[in-house]
Amino acid sequence: MNAQQKDRLTGLLGMIGSSIYVYQASLIEDSLLADAVGVTGVPTAIGVLLGTAAVFLFLKSWLPSKAPATSEAEEAPEPGGSDHPHLKALGLLAILLGFVALVSVFGFILCIGVMVATVAYFGGARQFKTLIWCALLTGPLLWLSFDYALEIRLPTGMWSQWIGK
Site residues (CB under 8 A) for another protein, limited to 100-159: 100, 103-104, 108, 112, 115-117, 119-125, 130, 134, 138, 142, 145-146, 150-155
Q: Phi, psi (5° rounding) for residue 72?
A: -65, -35
Question: In the complex, what is the shortest distance from the CB of residue 147 to another protein, in angstroms, rounded to a whole number?
Answer: 10
Distance CA 120, CA 59 (A): 44
- Residues 6 or more apart in contact with residue 53 via CB below 8 angstroms: 14
Give the residue with the Cβ less far from another protein, 74 or 161: 74
Question: In the complex, what is the shortest distance from the CB of residue 145 to another protein, in angstroms, rounded to a whole number?
Answer: 8
115: left (phi over 0), alpha (psi -120 to 50) or beta: alpha
In contact, 104 and 157? CB cutoff 8 Å: yes
Contact characters 5-44, another protein, x per CB under 8 A? -x--xx--xx--xx--x--xx--xxxx-xxxxx-xxxxx-
Query: Which of 57, 107, 156, 157 touches another protein (CB under 8 A)?
Result: 57
Site for another protein in 67-106 (CB under 8 A): 67-82, 84-86, 88-89, 91-93, 96-97, 99-100, 103-104
Q: Phi, psi (5° rounding) for residue 97?
A: -65, -35
